[in-house]
Amino acid sequence: MKTGPATTAAAAAPALPAVPVERRPPPDGYRRAIEAHRQAAPPSRVDPGIAEAMERQNQAMRELSRRAFSEPDVVPDDVTAPIEQARLECRRQAAATEAAALRRARVALPGRGRPRTV
């Protein structure tokens, strides 16, 4: 078996420790910078009235969508699924096309496709 750089690197990689690694607490400077950022960040300027209006509009759109694109929750066992109906229709169309092509070929090439009589 050949050993290349990938197999050598994989064999040399140390195994992951079985115990979780203890994380050190962040330095005080990091914590101070985060706190300063939080205090300096501008407060949210969202108007509660606008937020409520947006939520009402979203609910109305969801309701309209549900009505426009409603799907039955349960499909009866004796009804084929829409995908199966589409497949059956596609097979019927393919069979009709094939039959029509065979009829045209028999008319265009007399003697072919019919058994010869001696």
Residue 19 confidence (pLDDT): 78
pLDDT value at 21 more than 60: yes
Residue 55 in any domain: the answer is no
Residue 97 in any domain: the answer is yes
| Residue 86 structural domain | 81-112
Residue 42 in any domain: the answer is no
Tally of domains in the chain: 1
22-50, pLDDT tens digit by residue?
A: 888 889 999 999 999 988 878 778 888 99
Residue 28 confidence (pLDDT): 93
Closest CA to 80 of 93, 89, 67: 89
70-89, pLDDT tens digit by residue?
A: 776 665 666 667 788 889 99
The more confidently predicted of residues 43 and 61 is 61
The total of other beta-carbon atoms located within 10 Å of residue 64's CB is: 10
Residue 105 in any domain: the answer is yes
Residue 104 in any domain: the answer is yes
pTM for the model? 0.28
